[in-house]
């Protein structure tokens, strides 16, 4: 069950990234983040009375605060990177950083998945790298006065920082107890909405929260992102973190496929190979992980 929850969260994360990145191409990043996060918060508040009673500890709430600071920054940076770069490059780049940090921490804390799961984790990270390979017509290394100099594609530097922040967010949620229920996410989202709302208010003289033509897209983004967070939290509490976070971090596959179907971004041979590797990684992890 934790593996299925992690996979569904990956699908929702990828769809949320796609819709959020698409919305930021027509509206400001702060506007999209505030409205999308607020829609997710409202959805969770409506659902809370229907959930089993929970008893969060002080530590659980503090991890929620940590998730707010890291997750909010990660999402804002990610949406900015998606707005200025190619989705098929930005999303996988972020995911590599997002998966590496929690897996490393899980191993340092003594988690030891079985050999097939280890192979699946490595293959999963490799699939993310392959999916990020982009062929651009006429692109090549930039020539400087001292020879060739490589320049990262637009948005990649921001995507790397975003990946670190998202990795810390995933790690923070995973450190909460099952008895805390959804309270850590509620705390996290409340703080992030407050912070981004304050940022939007400070910038009100230059821009507003109006989302011309992308309001529905932004609302859908927030609901999918919150749903993905909830499913990931449940999966991380019931399964090995190194395995769960790897499955959840396969979200670039759905982002890339949506970019292909909706925006017409073409997939090259390496990206197709990466998608195939992702499927193989899922099979290895599910067969060799220890729930």
CB 176 within 8 Å of CB 60: yes
The pLDDT assigned to 146 comes to: 47
Element (H, E) at 106: helix 87-108
CB 18 within 8 Å of CB 259: yes
Helices in 2-57 by DSSP H: which ranges?
Answer: 2-24, 29-47
Asked if pLDDT for residue 129 goes beyond 80, the answer is: no
Share of the chain above pLDDT 70, in %: 80
Radius of gyration of the chain measured on its C-alpha atoms: 19
User: How far is it, in rounded angstroms, from Cα 199 to Cα 136?
Assistant: 36
The pLDDT assigned to 209 comes to: 65
Summarize the chain as % helix, strand, coil (round to 5): 75, 0, 25
Share of the chain above pLDDT 90, in %: 15
Asked if pLDDT for residue 142 goes beyond 50, the answer is: no
Average pLDDT, the chain: 78
Mean pLDDT of 196-213: 69
Domain spans, the chain: 2-134+155-288
CB 132 within 8 Å of CB 88: yes
The pLDDT assigned to 136 comes to: 46
Q: What's the pLDDT tens digit per position in 164-177?
A: 898 898 889 888 99
Mean pLDDT of 194-221: 76
Model pTM score:
0.76
Q: How confident is the model at residue 265 (pLDDT cuts 50, 70, 90)?
A: low
């Amino acid at each position: 069950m934790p593996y299925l929850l992690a996979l569904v969260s990956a699908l929702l994360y990828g769809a949320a990234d796609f819709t959020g990145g698409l919305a930021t191409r027509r509206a400001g990043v702060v506007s999209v983040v505030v409205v999308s996060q607020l829609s997710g918060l409202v959805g969770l508040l409506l659902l809370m009375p229907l959930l089993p009673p929970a008893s969060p500890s002080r530590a659980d709430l503090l991890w929620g605060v940590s998730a707010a600071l890291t997750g909010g920054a990660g999402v804002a940076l990610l949406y900015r990177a998606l707005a200025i770069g190619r989705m098929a490059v930005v999303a996988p780049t972020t995911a590599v950083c997002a998966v590496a940090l929690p897996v490393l921490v899980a191993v340092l804390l003594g988690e030891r998945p079985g050999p097939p799961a280890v192979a699946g984790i490595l293959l999963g990270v490799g699939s993310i790298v392959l999916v990020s390979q982009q062929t651009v017509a006429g692109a090549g290394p930039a020539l400087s006065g001292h020879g060739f100099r490589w320049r990262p594609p637009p948005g990649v530097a921001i995507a790397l920082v975003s990946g670190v922040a998202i990795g810390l967010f995933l790690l923070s949620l995973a450190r909460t107890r099952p008895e805390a229920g959804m309270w850590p996410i509620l705390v996290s989202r409340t703080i992030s909405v407050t912070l981004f709302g304050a940022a939007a208010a400070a910038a009100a003289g230059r821009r507003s929260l109006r989302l011309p033509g992308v309001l529905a897209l932004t609302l859908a983004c927030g609901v999918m992102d919150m749903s993905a967070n909830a499913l990931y939290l449940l999966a991380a509490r019931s399964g090995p973190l190194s395995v769960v976070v790897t499955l959840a971090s396969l979200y670039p596959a759905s982002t890339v496929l949506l970019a292909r179907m909706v925006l017409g971004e073409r997939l090259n041979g390496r990206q197709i190979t990466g998608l195939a590797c992702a499927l193989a990684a899922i099979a290895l992890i599910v067969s060799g992980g220890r729930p």
